[in-house]
Amino acid sequence: MTAVDFERRPKRRHAGENMQKPMVSSRAGALAGTARVPGDKSVSHRALMLGALAVGESVIEGLLEGEDVLCTAEAMRALGAEVERLGDGRWRLHGRGVGGLTEPEGVLDMGNSGTGVRLLMGLVATHPFTTFFTGDASLRSRPMKRVVEPLSRIGAGFVTRTGGRLPAAVIGTPMPRPITYELPVASAQVKSAILLAGLNTPGETTVIEREATRDHTELMLRNLGAAITVEHLPEGGRAIRLVGQPELTGRPVIVPADPSSAAFPAVAALAVPGSDVRLTGVGVNPLRTGLYQTLAEMSADIRFENGRTEAGEPVADLVVRFSALKGVDVPAERAPSMIDEYPILAVAAAFAEGKTRMFGLAELRVKESDRLAAMARGLAACGVNVEEDADTLVVHGTGKPPKGGATIAVNLDHRIAMAFLVLGMASEEPVAIDDARAIDTSFPAFPAMMNALGARIAAREG
């Protein structure tokens, strides 16, 4: 891999830089056409990490080339894997084998990627060297204790800032211990960090989750040859058991289109009258489709066509048409399957008739921003009646387009940024965001793709 391969990544956001990129979205005509959103971010991170541990060559098709994933690609290269970009979304890795990573010479800068840093902490925790991590201002404010605690039980050491925040040093253990760990909160990131640490740990590592979370790590490990089982427990929940020190075999990986990214054009099509949009090859893993289940309950016209399986992951084409939405209650137990989609669901609820109540949202407080507070403030600024408490958001829709007309501070959060650009496509007045740079972390072509479907998103001077 040459340095030029990574020059495609947008410039990092550092505290104190005055490089904001304001953007405005105005009311559009009907959205129409076919599009493919970028590759699934969760699958992309894992494909790079596990490809670096596999023996032989792994070729990845459809990799998301947003800033978050490119940070992971750089990190795997720093840890000794051969990482080569072959073309748009097509990458090749020659792995080091389980336990074969090497100590990086410098600090691993993970940008804005909470998934990347937490999973990599697990990966290096059972290698006998020290790894230093940092990130942008948003990532440095996010909690890492949730992975530090179980990884410490395995034997790794940690030095962090107050509150378990980055920058941090992970002191890998040469004598890791297998553990059985019950997740205190539903978190695919914590589960995956433990399983990745368990790869280089003798014996059996077990993670117990009371609520099922996205299982991309388990599916990919099994596809690469690991001995991993999932047991449904009689008292509820699941036990995921991994036998350590397997030989993973490099294989082709096809990354499905990201269902979380697809949510933005899907809700835009539901909100803009006359719209008819097809989104191709979207991942429809049942542990990721809570949003689409909820939209169906809201009377959304969404169809799944051409269903198939690619590299162990179910995919389908989504056909979405403008719909008159109705308010619903969204139960707390659905949160793990749609935790990243609540910002755009709140926008859909703003166009619905009646009250939409979303429960169990405490996890939104510790995302790239406090997404619960950000959505409540932003919707209120756009004329929507909202109620917010510690873990609940209630949106009172009127069945008519919201007023809009506000400028939203997105606080370096890509999902807040895209959600309010979608709102502006159908609100009475345009909606602006103060900084669109964060969109590059997951969906760099979002404005261009939406404009190609008929949206009106433009840079805003000043």
pLDDT score of 462:
56
User: Which residues of the chain register pLDDT less than 70?
Assistant: 1-18, 462
Q: Virtual CA dihedral for 338, 341, 342, 343, nearest 10 degrees?
A: 170
Catalytically active residues are 340
What's the topology of domain 16-39+256-459?
UDP-n-acetylglucosamine1-carboxyvinyl-transferase; Chain (3.65.10)
- Provide the whole-model pTM: 0.86
pLDDT at residue 18 in the model: 54
| Whole-angstrom distance, CA of residue 369 vs CA of residue 143 | 12
CATH of span 41-241: 3.65.10.10
pLDDT of residue 427: 98
Would you say 20 and 437 are in contact if contact means Cβ atoms under 8 Å apart? yes
Q: Are 115 and 84 in contact (CB under 8 A)?
A: no
pLDDT digits (tens, 9 = 90+) for 301-322: 999 999 998 877 899 999 999 9
Instruction: Mention every residue, 6+ apart, whose C-beta is less than 8 A from residue 399.
Output: 324, 351, 352, 353, 354
Domain with CATH 3.65.10.10 in the chain: 16-39+256-459, 41-241
d(CA 317, CA 323): 18
